[in-house]
Amino acid sequence: MKRAAALSALACLLAVTAAAPAASDAPAAVRGGATAAAGKASALDAVPRRGVLRVCTTGDYRPFSHRDPATGKYSGVDIAMAGDLAESLGATPRYVATTWAKLVGDLSAGRCDIAMGGVSITLPRARSVYFSEPTRTDGKTPLVRCTDKAKYRTLSQIDRPGTRVIVNPGGTNEEFARAHVHRATLTVHPDNTTIFDEIIAGRADVMMTDASETRYQAKIHPELCSLHPDKPFTFSEKSYALPRGDDEFKAYVDQWVHLATHDGTYRKYEDAWMK
């Protein structure tokens, strides 16, 4: 109840602040922020008025976002979080299907209010969108058949002729693989929901993805092992992507994430998938 009250109070304060008249001698871009200058209402006001929070998500990245192909239903850590965010705004979530290659463009074009589902913060993405306060730290690490776990622990062991590296397209996994795989064979597999079956079946040897995903896939596939997930090759953070220029909505989402990551809400959803 305290958390809900705090978010409601913040929403009211931000709405009042956004509606207050600015000094007449202030520049237009300063008076109302980037969104007001562009003639657009903040999502902080638009979402409650619409009664719907539009969430761009790929649906192919468990444990964060998964779309059941049979039912079309979404589930995952960030899907549960999206439901909470929508509820805090007096709205319901509506999921907008996207891909990793199109996620930033779909958000920037206004097809959704927020992008959720294991989105990593990167500087190229930050040129086009805002990022919320991070939800967790992460980093790229190998996922392999457990029988091969001694063979592919380092990048030098992986990047050798004869090693078959597999990666999904359009996101940070492909960026990392292309930057570090030069001598091994690199295959881009179009479906991130079946890519792990390729390793199990022996058609690929290694996938390098976020430690959180390797932990989850190792949990549901006993044949697969996540290698040194506590010491990944890289450092990254997961976050939620927001429309660039909507400062009022970003402030609200930042506060909501801060509360959820400190009051046990986010950990509860993550534990349900990871343990």
Confidence check: pLDDT of 52 > 80: yes
Confidence check: pLDDT of 29 > 50: no
CA distance 223 to 145: 6
Confidence check: pLDDT of 42 > 70: yes
What average pLDDT does range 67-71 have in this prediction?
96
pLDDT number for residue 110: 97
CA distance 115 to 157: 35
Kindly list the structural domains of the chain, giving each domain's residue range(s) and its CATH number in brackets, ordered by start.
44-138+236-272 (3.40.190.10), 140-226 (3.40.190.10)
| Torsional sign, CA 149, 155, 157, 159 | positive
Confidence check: pLDDT of 210 > 80: yes
Rounded to the nearest integer, the mean pLDDT of the chain is: 90
What average pLDDT does range 33-38 have in this prediction?
44
pLDDT number for residue 14: 53
Q: What DSSP line would sit under the chain, residue for residue?
A: -HHHHHHHHHHHHHHHHHHSPPPTTS-HHHHHHHHHHTT---HHHHHHHHTEEEEEE-SEETTTEEE-TTT--EESHHHHHHHHHHHHTT-EEEEEE--TTTHHHHHHTTS-SEEEEEEEP-HHHHTTEEE-S-SEEE-EEEEEEGGGTTTSSSHHHHSSTT-EEEE-SSSHHHHHHHHH-SSSEEEE-S-TTTHHHHHHTTS--EEEEEHHHHHHHHHH-TTEEE--TTS-SS-EEEEEEEETT-HHHHHHHHHHHHHHTTSSHHHHHHHHHH-
* Confidence (pTM): 0.81
| Torsional sign, CA 269, 273, 274, 275 | positive
pLDDT number for residue 11: 54
Which is higher by pLDDT, 31 or 244?
A: 244
Which is higher by pLDDT, 8 or 162?
A: 162
For the record, the structure tokens of 259 come out as 């509360």
pLDDT number for residue 24: 36
* List of long-range contacts for 156-160, beta carbons under 8 Å, 24+ apart: 158/184, 158/206, 158/208, 159/183, 159/184, 160/184
pLDDT number for residue 275: 78
- Residue 59 has φ and ψ, to the nearest 5°, of 70, 15
Confidence check: pLDDT of 139 > 60: yes
- The closest of 77, 65, 87 to 4, measured between CA atoms, is 87
CA distance 13 to 17: 6
Confidence check: pLDDT of 38 > 90: no
What is the band of 10 on the pLDDT scale with cuts at 50, 70, 90? low
Confidence check: pLDDT of 30 > 80: no
What average pLDDT does range 180-189 have in this prediction?
98
Residue 21 CB-half CA count within 13 A:
3
